[in-house]
Amino acid sequence: MVDQVLDTKGLNCPLPIIKAKKAIKSMATGQILQIDATDPGAVQDFEAFCRVTGNELLNSSEEGGVFSFEIKVTE
Amino acid sequence: MSDAANAKSMSLIVTKGSLDWAYPPFILATTAASMGLEVSMFFTFYGLGLLKKDMDLEVTALGNPAMKMPMAGMHVGMPNIMAAMPGVGALATGMMKNMIEKKGVASIEELRETAIEAEVELIACQMTMDLFEFKKEDMIDGVPVAGAATYVENALKSDINLFI
């Protein structure tokens, strides 16, 4: 289901977004990127990122202080 | 730069060049570029130092009562008379850099590299180059040098304009 996993645990704003964008650039339309992060600000930020870029936020979850996002590449 | 021809855009005027003040413009520029915006940054006055090949960024608590560092479970500021002592600025800079690394915050060098990779347009202010006697070879390669009219033209077509 997930095509690529990006680990941004321990990184702070804006690195998770920047690294996600770099990953998305290397992926094909329709593929799914999973991003793991420990930055609590990433929850709101990936929502905003997807609203602006048009990539689709399929899932946003948290377990044991790790936030996971699944983004479907549309750009 | 963005993938779409009709992308939104942002222009920033960067006027400050201390370690702390270098963050807002580079964070916003790299984030906006990641979100598909066309971004241009105009570096003027003390901000121009952020385009030098060797950035020697420092932070000082002098005249900065809001700078309170987390220490032993508290937040500790520094009276001006202490902040003015020789070596204290270097100490504060070292503490800040240490904190930046420990908290997973990007370095300014890393953010600037990211901005360049993302095709953010970095423009050096000609007047400041002359005023402070900066040489073109001191600056990172490929940076255009221009004046206020260039900024105004960029600003006119930008959706977001910030003076930092």
Print the domain residue range for A67: 4-72
What HEC string does chain B produce? CCCCCCCCEEEEEECCCCHHHHHHHHHHHHHHHHCCCEEEEEECHHHHHHHECCCCCCCCCCCCCCCCEEECCEEECCCHHHHCCCCHHHHHHHHHHHHHHHCCCCCHHHHHHHHHHCCCEEEEEHHHHHHCCCCHHHECCCCCEECHHHHHHHHHCCCEEEEC
B68-87: average pLDDT: 90
Q: Which residue of A has its CA nearest to B114?
A: A18
Q: What pLDDT, on the 0 to 100 scale, is given for residue A28? A: 96
- The shortest CB-CB distance from B105 to any of A12, A49, A75 is to A12
Question: How many A×B Cβ pairs under 8 Å?
Answer: 36
Give the residue from B135, B161, B128 showing the smallest Cα distance to B46: B128
CATH code for the structural domain at B9-163: 3.40.1260.10
Give domain limits for chain B.
9-163
Q: What is the count of structural domains for chain A?
A: 1
Residues of A known to be catalytic: 13
Report pLDDT digits (tens) over B112-145: 999 999 999 999 999 999 999 999 999 999 899 9
Q: Which residue of A has its CA nearest to B4?
A: A75
pLDDT at B2 over 70: no
Decide if B114 and A18 are in contact by the 8 Å CB cutoff: yes
Decide if B31 and A18 are in contact by the 8 Å CB cutoff: yes
Alpha-carbon gap, residue B32 to A58, rounded angstroms = 22
Q: What pLDDT, on the 0 to 100 scale, is given for residue B71? A: 86
Report pLDDT digits (tens) over A2-44: 999 999 999 999 999 999 999 999 999 999 999 999 999 999 9
Q: Tell me the pTM.
A: 0.91
Confidence of residue B6 (pLDDT cuts 50, 70, 90): low
The CATH number linked to A40 is 3.30.110.40
B60-78: average pLDDT: 90
